[in-house]
Chain A
Amino acid sequence: MADFKTLTPQDFKSDQEVKWCPGCGDHAILSSVQKALPEVSEALKYTKERYVFVSGIGCSSRFPYYMNTYGFHGIHGRASAIATGIKVANPTLSVWQITGDGDALAIGGNHFIHAVRRNIDINILLFNNEIYGLTKGQYSPTSKLGSITKTSPFGTVEHPFRPGELVIGAQGKFFARSIDVEVKLTSEILVEAAKHDGTSVVEILQNCVIFNDHTHGNITDREFRDDRVIVLHHGEKMVFGKQRDKGLVLDGQGLRLKVVTIGQDGYTLDDLLVHDETNPNPGLHMMLVNMEYPEYPVALGVIRMVKDSTYDDNVRDQVIEVQRNAKIHNMDELLHSGETWEVE
């Protein structure tokens, strides 16, 4: 391991020309990652050679080529499996999977939920633009019902996945959400994701300027963003709005969230919920990840971060435990174990 030195975003830029379309949300996400990694390195004392970026297929999956780290550009949908193999083979590596809504939730859906279920210590950045970009504009598993695309000229007739709901349904322990252009928020979240032991899923609402422009526009446009999103911070009141006058409470029976305005209907700041990202009970987190505009603000920030044992640690611990009491230490001993007999 090299001596630890302070890294800068520049250290993570590769010599490859970035080929995403001008105006694509991926550019901002790349900046966020390159901004976050020096902080991660500082916080966790990681040297540059410990980072591995893994991807599948799709626009977002070109990402590893633009990072001056170890990188593996896999095949469609399989990045979670490849990343899992890398982490188990060498748990000292910091493994980052870059994926899109098609790669992770359609062709790779199975690998995605099983990575989450195993809670292997990898960071999954899910770029959600609700469209297939690289194949030029077909609907994806997150496209809104009724979306008009090349393969749904009369509108889609299928219900979309909500990634956060899927993650929590698969027993996910870490889920966060950001918006591509929110570089500061995204990089803050990425630092938290890296620090978290276990599978960290970060959904980034990303704009495909060519095939699905403004798909998230009704919540991400600057003029009304503050009123339509809520950025959650652990231990803080769930407040939002340009005037910071709106917030979330549980309704009378505690079964659903309700948006209230401070000073109306008798609500005060004290009545608002306090965000607890560490609550193992997924009930409230599920409600938060499923909030959709216009009924609710869309939740951003770290929504769920619960400690639990990780797959890679469990693998390592089991090997250590078995080896402690092992009677067989090498191949020759294995060959001679069990029943054998001599021929004189």
Chain B
Amino acid sequence: MDQKVSRVEMEEVVIRFSGDSGDGMQLTGTLFSDTSALLGNGVSTFPDYPSEIRAPQGTVGGVSGFQVHFGSKKINTPGDFCDVLVAMNPAALKANWMWVKKGGTIILDADTFNEKGLVRAGYETLDPVAELNLDDFHLIFANITTLTKESLKESEMDNKSIVRCKNMFTLGMVYNMFDRPMLHTEEYLVKKFAKKPGLAAANMKVLKDGYNYAGNIQAMPNRFRVEPATRDKGTYRNVNGNTATAWGLIAAAEKAGLPLFCGSYPITPATEILVELAKRKDLGVKTLQAEDEIAGICTSIGAAFAGNFAVTSTSGPGLSLKSEAIGLAVMAELPLVVVDVQRGGPSTGLPTKTEQSDLLQALWGRNGECPMAVVAASTPSNCFDYAFMAGKLSIEHMTPVMLLTDGFISNGSQPWKIPSMSSYPAITPPVVPVGTADYYPYKRNPETLARGWALPGTPGLEHRIGGLEKDALKGSVSHNPMNHQVMVETRANKVERMQNYIPEQDVIGDTEGDLLVIGWGGTYGHLVSAVNLLRAEGKKVSLCHIHYINPLPKNLGDIFKSYKKLVVCELNMGQMANYLRMSYQKFDYKQMNKVQGLPFTVAELTDKFNEILEGK
């Protein structure tokens, strides 16, 4: 049978796995993307899951999805629409069918499409195909649950455990359809179930049966093949944004020769940073799961005072709670990296959905004149670089730095060419040496304006600092009016002077043209894809993606001058646009904003850019 199936080369494919939040779709998607990455494909992923861990079974609210986009070229986004949708129940179909390309394939577990399942998912009729008008799609109704039970009927497992293996059946089917080897998944299963070899064997059997089943039914008219992407030579790994962030912070600590301390409190979608750091006792990382967000940052401030490289990780609601303490770190002029993995707000908002609406909070969400350096990562893997740079700036300039990421890049993963630590710059903490005769707490480096870091335990440098305004040199409490003016200006200047230590802004595309697309943060993949599409059509569009937000790069105004039109694209109501209006007032900034808890799609971006180019 297999020989008759033709192989079709495809440049890129998007698959969306969806099911109940207990169906194991995140794992299934991850295993598929890891396998593809190991084959050398370009990969980008997007987990999309509800904030309830186990929402009522079979309801649309409980659907968990994982989209993977892989191809024979560099992949920048998880893809707008999918070629293949896996829907493990009627709810998953209902929640996701609109994301399937016309003519795309939908794999369904036929066993779940019964009256009970359909009613629970809120269908109005018992014919989902007609109700959703799915005639244009290639539907594969497979009895996945029954086949999984059949596959394991000889095993001694109970029914519940058997049914739980059905995601492996599905994965096997998709492996067959896209000609993927199963070796990596087998290795994973053996490792995961090292203490339960029976479970590993059961999962493997189901995986293989699913693989063969897809071949036997000729699930796809063609078997698709996606060739490896051509990439730079080197060693690669997969990484998601939160792991890359955690590792970037460890890397900064190593370069600075300081122990890393992280005081933090679990919060979606930032928790994984704390989880990853907690594993790294081997590298001497100390994590303290605090009693609340405030204690998270305050333990870190204490650790910074005592001479550790201190960080804290959170998301929007937690950042609100940390505001007062960030002010303390600004006032005390201590190094501290605050990582904010943004999610939909306000308040509890959309915990598992992405948004970029904490920008103004990051910049200004504190009492008093309280300047904060702000850096934003833009891809899962460059979270490593920007976490590293946030650490370097914070330590060398003795001031807190905010690192902004978001739910999209923190959970998304991509292949990453592993860097060598020797390619990263040195970090030199301005520690005051023992025996410094004329030490004063607020004596500054004339270039950076950083004060010296005198560590408790050093003889002769005893001093007191804190949240009250301090004398500009001696650090004793001062309510002197002119002294306060000097200190406010100095703290602002210190952050401004970081401009001399950050790279100039670069532009993707020509350095002049009709339209400059301005973005920041996790929208990079979609923006660069949209800009590249239009450029391929000969349009004079370039992308300016900002990573250093406060201070902004020196040359930004010069870049803006060289384009006829500017459009600021962001997943909020225009926070960066307004910030740029303040910072570079003479330009007219058009806006592209979206607040749906979802990334941009490339299609809606190109539409908008075309509209602007056409002068609409």
Residues of A within 8 A of B (CB): 1-2, 14, 16, 47-50, 52-55, 57, 64-65, 67-75, 78, 80-90, 92-93, 110-111, 114, 315, 318-319, 322-323, 326-332, 334-336, 338-344
Please, which residue of chain B has its CB at the minimum distance from the CB of A110?
B291
Contact across chains for A340 and B456 when beta carbons are under 8 A apart: no
Name the residue of chain A whose CB is nearest to the CB of B254: A331
With A86-B305, A334-B247, A339-B34 known to touch, is A114 a contact of B295 (CB < 8 Å)? yes
Given known contacts A315-B286, A331-B247, A335-B419, is B463 in contact with A70 (CB within 8 Å)? yes
- For the complex, is B301 an interface residue (Cβ under 8 Å from A)? yes
Most chain A Cβ neighbours within 10 Å, of B232, B263, B295, B307: B295
Interface of B is mostly: mixed
The distance in angstroms between the C-alpha atoms of A114 and B250, with both chains bound, is: 27
A250 to B198, CA, bound (A): 61
A1 near B235 with CB under 8 A, answer no
Q: Give Cα distance in the complex from A49 to B308, angstroms.
A: 17
- Known A49-B458, A328-B282, A336-B235; contact A89-B418, beta-carbon cutoff 8 A: no
Q: How far apart sit A292 and B465, CA to CA, in the bound complex (Å)?
A: 39
User: What residues of chain A lie closer than 8 Å to B302, measured between beta carbons?
Assistant: 54, 72, 81-89
Verify if B281 is at the interface (C-beta below 8 Å from A).
Answer: yes
Find out whether the CB atom of B288 lies under 8 angstroms from the CB atom of A84: yes
A339 to B30 Cα, complex, angstroms: 13
In this complex, the member of A1, A16, A83, A341 whose beta carbon has the largest number of chain B beta carbons within 10 angstroms is A341
The answer on a CB contact under 8 Å between A81 and B303 is no
Could you tell me the distance between the alpha carbons of A47 and B237 in the complex, rounded to whole angstroms?
49
For the complex of A and B, 5 pairs with smallest distance between CB atoms: A85-B302, A73-B466, A81-B298, A85-B299, A71-B464
Q: Is B215 an interface position by the 8 A CB rule?
A: no
Inter-chain contacts of A87 with B (CB < 8 A): 302, 306
Closest Cβ of chain B: how far from A4's Cβ, in Å? Answer: 11
Q: Kindly identify, within residues 322 to 362 of chain B, every residue whose CB is under 8 Å from any CB belonging to chain A.
A: 324-325, 327-328, 332
B232 neighbours in A (Cβ, 8 Å): 343
Contact of B251 among A70, A329, A331, A340 (CB under 8 A): A331
Which chain A residues border B259 with CB–CB below 8 Å? Answer: 89
B40-62 interface bits toward A, Cβ cutoff 8 Å, 1 = contact, 0 = none: 10000000000000000000000
Residues of the A chain whose Cβ atoms lie less than 8 Å from the Cβ of B457: 1, 49-50, 70, 90, 92-93
In the bound complex, how far is the Cα of B327 from the Cα of A52, in angstroms?
Answer: 21
CA distance A92 to B455 in the complex (A): 12
Interface size class of B (residues with CB under 8 A): 35 or more
Q: How far is the CA of A56 from the CA of B298 in the complex (A)?
A: 11
Q: Which residue of A lies closest to B232 (CB)?
A: A343
CB contact under 8 A between A90 and B306, given known A72-B464, A78-B325: yes
CB distance from B419 to the nearest CB of A (A): 7
User: Please, which residue of chain B has its CB at the minimum distance from the CB of A117?
Assistant: B291
Query: Which residue of A78, A319, A336 contacts B298 across the interface (Cβ within 8 Å)?
Result: A78
Instruction: Give CA–CA (A74, B324) in the complex, Å.
Output: 10
Q: Is the CB of A88 within 8 A of B466?
A: no
Q: Which has the most chain A C-beta neighbours within 10 Å: B247, B261, B283, B460?
A: B283
Instruction: Kindly state the separation between the CA atoms of A43 and B457 in the bound complex, as whole angstroms.
Output: 18
Cβ of B79 to closest chain A Cβ, rounded Å: 23
Which B residues are in CB contact (< 8 Å) with A331? 247, 250-251, 254, 283, 421
In whole angstroms, how far apart are the Cα atoms of A50 and B254 in the complex?
Answer: 25
- Cross-chain contact A341 with B261 (CB below 8 angstroms): no
A-B contact list, 5 entries, CB within 8 Å: A73-B466, A85-B261, A114-B290, A334-B250, A336-B237
B263 near A329: Cβ-Cβ < 8 Å: no
Q: Please, which residues of chain A bring their CB within 8 A of the CB of B263?
A: 81, 85
| A149 to B455 CA separation, bound complex (whole angstroms) | 43
Q: When the two chains form their complex, are residues B464 and A14 in contact, meaning their CB atoms are under 8 A apart?
A: yes
User: How distant is A171 from chain B, measured CB to nearest CB, in Å?
Assistant: 14
Determine if B303 and A86 form an interchain contact, defined as CB atoms under 8 angstroms apart: yes
Restricting to B300-319, which residues have a CB under 8 Å from any CB of A? 300-308, 310
Q: Is the CB of A332 within 8 A of B299?
A: no
Q: A331-B254, A336-B418, A343-B233 are in contact. Are A89 and B286 (CB under 8 A)?
A: yes
Could you mark each residue 386-425 of chain B with 1 if its beta carbon is under 8 Å from any beta carbon of chain A, else 0? 0000000000000000000000000000000111110000
Q: How far is the CB of B303 from chain A (nearest CB, A)?
A: 4
Residues of A within 8 Å of B295, CB to CB, are: 78, 80-81, 84, 110-111, 114
Q: Enumerate chain A residues within 8 angstroms of B446, measured Cβ to Cβ.
A: none
If A88-B303, A330-B254 touch, whether A78 touches B40 (CB-CB below 8 Å) is no
Cα A67 to Cα B231 in complex, Å, equals 61
Among B236, B283, B294, point to the contact of A340 (Cβ < 8 A).
Answer: B236
Point out which of B37, B418, B458, B466 has the most chain A C-beta atoms below 10 A from its C-beta.
B466
Q: Which residues of A contact B238 (CB under 8 A)?
A: 339
| B265-310 interface with A by 8 A CB criterion | 280-284, 286, 288, 290-292, 294-295, 298-308, 310
Residues of chain B lying within 8 A (CB to CB) of residue A49: 456-462
Given contacts A53-B464, A73-B466, 7 further A-B contacts (CB under 8 A): A47-B459, A64-B466, A65-B476, A319-B284, A330-B283, A341-B40, A343-B40
Q: Which residues in A have their C-beta under 8 angstroms from that of B473?
A: none
Chain B residues whose CB sits within 8 angstroms of the CB of A64 once the complex forms: 464, 466
**B298, A323: Cβ atoms closer than 8 Å:** no
Complex partner residue of A342 from B235, B332, B421, B461, CB under 8 angstroms: B235
Is A86 touching B328 in the complex (CB atoms < 8 A)?
A: no
A71 to B470, CA, bound (A): 14
**Residue B467 interfacial (CB < 8 Å):** yes
B290: shortest Cβ distance to chain A, in Å? 7
Distance in Å from the Cβ of A80 to the closest Cβ of chain B? 8
Q: Is the CB of B456 within 8 A of A93?
A: yes
In the assembly, what is the distance between CA of A99 and CA of B458, in Å? 25
Distance between Cα atoms of A207 and B225 in the complex (Å) = 82
Contact A65 B464 (CB under 8 A): yes
Q: Are B466 and A74 in contact (CB under 8 A)?
A: yes
CB <8 Å contact, A73 and B465: yes
Q: How far is the CA of A281 from the CA of B304 in the complex (A)?
A: 38
Q: Decide if B5 is an interface residue (CB 8 Å cutoff).
A: no
Q: Known: A81-B294, A340-B235, A341-B235. Contact between A71 and B463, CB under 8 A?
A: yes
Cα of A80 to Cα of B455 in the assembled complex, Å:
19
Q: Given that A49-B457, A90-B306 are contacting pairs, would A85 and B462 also be in contact in the complex, using a CB cutoff of 8 Å?
A: no
Q: How far is the CB of A209 from chain B (nearest CB, A)?
A: 22
Give Cα distance in the complex from A114 to B465, angstroms.
25
Is B129 in contact with chain A by the CB < 8 A criterion? no
Q: When A85-B310, A110-B292, A331-B254 are in contact, do A52 and B456 touch as well, CB less than 8 Å?
A: yes
The answer for the CA separation of A344 and B310 in the assembled complex, in Å, is: 39
- B467→A75 contact, CB < 8 A: yes
| B157 touches A (CB below 8 Å) | no
Selected from B237, B324, B462, the residue in CB contact (under 8 A) with A70 is B462
Is B468 on the interface with A (CB-CB < 8 A)? yes
Query: B477: CB under 8 A from chain A?
Result: yes
Q: Within 8 Å CB of B328, what residues of A?
A: 74-75
A334 to B249, CA, bound (A): 13
Complex formed: what's the CA distance from A330 to B235 in Å? 17
- For B247, give the chain A residue with the smallest CB separation: A334
**B189 close to chain A: CB less than 8 A:** no
Name the interface residues of B214-255: CB closer than 8 Å to any CB of A. Answer: 231-238, 247, 250-251, 254
Q: Residues of B contacting A341 with CB < 8 Å? A: 37-38, 40, 235-237
Binary per-residue interface labels of chain B (440-484) against chain A in the complex, 1 for a CB within 8 Å, 0 otherwise = 000000000000000111111111111110000000110000000
Q: How far is the CA of A16 from the CA of B516 in the complex (A)?
A: 57
